[in-house]
Amino acid sequence: MVLFEEIAVGLCILLIYCAIVVFVVKSKFWKRVLLISCFTLTLAGLASSITETSFFKVYVYPENLALEDFDFTDYAMAKLRKPALEDPRVVLVNFGALDRREAAHLINAISHYKPKVIGIDALFNCEGGLRDSINCPQLKDSIGNRMLSDAIRRAGNVVLGTKLMQSDSLAKLDSEIADSLELSDPVFSNYAKNGFINLPSGSSKQEDVKVARTLFPRRNVKNKTELAFSVHMALVYDSVKTKKFLVRDNEEEIINFRGNIEVWEVTPEIPQNKELEAANFKMYFVVDFEDVLSGNVSPELFKDKIVVIGYLGDFLGDSAYEDKFFTPINENPYGKSNADMFSPVIQANIISMILDEDYINVLPDDREVLFALLTCIFHVALLLYIGKKFPNWFELISIGLIIFQLFLYSWLRINLFIVFGLKSNLVATITTLAFATISINLCKELYHLSYKKLPVWLQQKI
C-alpha cells in the first residue's frame, strides 16, 4: 500500500513540474531537457521504491540480502587507504578471564605507572539483576569486591563501561532509543566515570553477527545526557578536541577505522609461548595481563597514556570470537568470513579518530538530490544534442557515455572518501543515468502519440 502511495505522490509531483516547465521555460530545447529530466527522476524514484520492498528483495533479487552488510567504503578503508602509523597515545591491556581480585591487582599495577586515564570495557555487576550467591557467584568474594572498589577509588581516573537498555515494550518497536542504563554496582561506579559501550551493531544478542561501523557519541536517558565510553575517555585525555567532536552534534557518527591489533594465533598444534604471544601490531600496542601483573613492562608504556582494558581473548592469540565484531577493515571486506576486531580495539579507534580530529562526514540527502538533478539535466541535454547531431550513432554514443560516467562517479565516490573523508552514495545520480536514455525514448513515443490530441494552445506551448 505504501508503494502505491509513493507512486501516486511521484506522479503528482511529475505533473506539477511538467506544468511549471511548459508555462515558464521559453526555449524549446531546454523545455524538452527539463521535461525529460523530471520524467527520468520520477522513474528513478519509483525504481528505488520498488527495490526497497520486501517482495523485490526476497523474490526478485535475493542476492541483495547477502550484500546488505557491505558498504562501498569497506573496500576503500580496507584496501585503498595508506596504512596508519601506530598510535602511541593508546595502550590496550588484555583483561582475559580475571576475577575481581585479580582485576584489582591489575588496576593497581597500571595506576602505579600514572596513566592519564584508565578505561575498563566491562561491567562489574550481577547479570539479570539477581543478587544472590548462586546466580551471582562474584558476590561470594566480598574481599575481592572491596579490593576492586578500593583500586578504582585510588586510581581516581577510571572510566567504567555501562550499557544502554530498553524495556520490552520499547524493544518491540525496534527503536534505538534507550530508557534505562545498566551500570556496575554502586561500590564500583560511584568511584568512576561511566560511559556506555553499546555500538549500533544491528544485533541484540551476544551470539548474533555484529557489524560495527558507527557509534552514538551521546544518548539521552531519562532526561540525562550519557556519553559513550570512548568519548568519555577522550574527554579526560583532551577535553578541547573532544568538545569539538561533540559540537558536530551528529546523532550517529561513522567510525574512521585506521587499524587493528595483530597477534599470533595459538592453536593446539602451536604451543603457547612468549615468542608467539609477542604481537606484530598494526595500530596499537597491547600487553597481556600476565605481563602487567608480573611487572614485565616499561613504566614509559603507561605514563600519561590512555589505557583501555578489555577482553582480547583468554590470552593474546586466543582465537575466541566473544565480544568480537565485523568491521570495514576486515581483510575480506566482501565475504567477512570471520569477525576481526574486539570491542576494546574499536573503542581505541574511536579515541584516535577524536584526538586526530579525523572524522568521516556524510553528504546530506538534499545535496545528493541536488547533485543528481544537475547531473540528470546535463546528461539529458547532452543526449538530446547527440541525438540531433549524430542520430545514427545515438544508441552507441549514449551507452558509451553512461558507462564512462558510471566509472567517473564511482572514482569520485572513492576519492572523496579517501582524500576528504566525505561519504557520498551518489545512488540517485547513478540511477538517473541508467534511466536517462530510456526516458528520452519513452518521452518521444508519448509525445508523438499525444501531441495531436492536445488543445492547440497547449501544442503551441510545447
Residue 75 located in a structural domain: no
For residues 265 and 387, membership in a common domain is answered with no
Domain end marker among 338, 359, 380 = 359
CA distance readout (Å), 78 to 328, 355, 422: 6, 21, 16
Length of the chain, please? 462
Other Cβ atoms within 10 Å of 413 Cβ, number: 22
Q: Are 452 and 383 part of one and the same domain? A: yes
Please report the pLDDT score of residue 6 as a whole number: 54
Last residue of a domain, one of 335, 359, 383: 359
| Claim to verify: residue 173 and residue 291 sit in the same structural domain | yes
Is residue 190 in some structural domain?
A: yes
Residue 173 belongs to a domain:
yes
pLDDT for res 437: 82
How confident is the model at residue 272, as a pLDDT?
A: 44
108 and 12, same domain (yes or no):
no
Domain count, the chain: 2
**Same domain membership, residue 447 and residue 320:** no
Best CA proximity match to 328, nearest among 64, 69, 78: 78
Tell me: do 347 and 427 sit in the same domain.
no
| Domain identity same for 267 and 136 | yes
Residue that terminates a domain, selected from 304, 338, 359: 359
In-domain check, residue 102: yes
Which position has the grid cell 551470539?
207
Same domain for 172 and 305, yes or no, is yes
Rounded to the nearest 10 degrees, how much is the dihedral formed by the CA atoms of 365, 367, 369, 375?
Answer: -150
Copy the grid coordinates of residue 138: 562474584
In-domain check, residue 74: no
Residues 6+ apart with CB under 8 A from 232: 119, 159, 193, 194, 195
* Residue 113 sits in the same domain as residue 15: no
Same domain, 56 and 99: no
- In 3D space, the residue among 379, 381, 384 whose CA is nearest the CA of residue 434 turns out to be 379
pLDDT at 21: 54
pLDDT score, position 373: 84
- Report the candidate in 255, 258, 257, 254 with the shortest Cα–Cα distance to residue 84: 258
User: pLDDT for 38-58, tens place per residue?
Assistant: 888 888 877 777 766 665 555
What is the structure's pLDDT at 217? 96
Which pLDDT belongs to residue 307?
96
pLDDT digits (tens, 9 = 90+) for 288-323: 999 999 988 888 999 999 999 999 988 887 776 777
Q: Which amino acid is at 165?
A: M
Q: What pLDDT was estimated at residue 280?
A: 39
Taking residue 11's Cβ as centre, other Cβ atoms within 10 Å add up to: 12
Residue whose C-alpha is closest to residue 438's, from 407, 414, 402: 402
Residue 325 CB contacts under 8 Å (≥ 6 apart), including other chains:
199, 201, 210, 211, 212, 339, 340, 341, 342, 343, 346
What range defines the domain where residue 113 resides? 81-359
In a domain, 21, yes or no: yes
Q: Secondary structure of the chain in the HEC alphabet?
A: CHHHHHHHHHHHHHHHHHHHHHHHCCCHHHHHHHHHHHHHHHHHHHHHHHHCCHHHHHHHCCHHHHCCCCCHHHHHHHHHCCCCCCCCCEEEEECCCCCHHHHHHHHHHHHCCCCCEEEECCCCCCHHHCCCCCCCHHHHCHHHHHHHHHHHHHHCCEEEEEEEECCHHHHCCCCCCCCEEECCCHHHHCCCEEEECCCCCCCCCCCCCCECCEECCEEEECCEEEEEHHHHHHHHHCHHHHHHHHHCCCCCEECCCCCCCCCCCCCCCCCCCHHHHCCCCCCCEEEEHHHHHCCCCCHHHCCCCEEEEECCCCCCCCCCCCCEEECCCCCCCCCCCCCCEEHHHHHHHHHHHHHHCCCCEECCHHHHHHHHHHHHHHHHHHHHHHHHHCHHHHHHHHHHHHHHHHHHHHHHHHHHHHHHCEECCCHHHHHHHHHHHHHHHHHHHHHHHHHHHCCHHHHHHC
Check whether residue 336 and residue 395 sit in a common domain.
no
Low-confidence ranges of the chain (pLDDT < 70): 1-27, 51-70, 128-130, 132-133, 168-176, 201-209, 262-282, 320, 333-337, 446-462
Residues 285 and 188 in one domain: yes
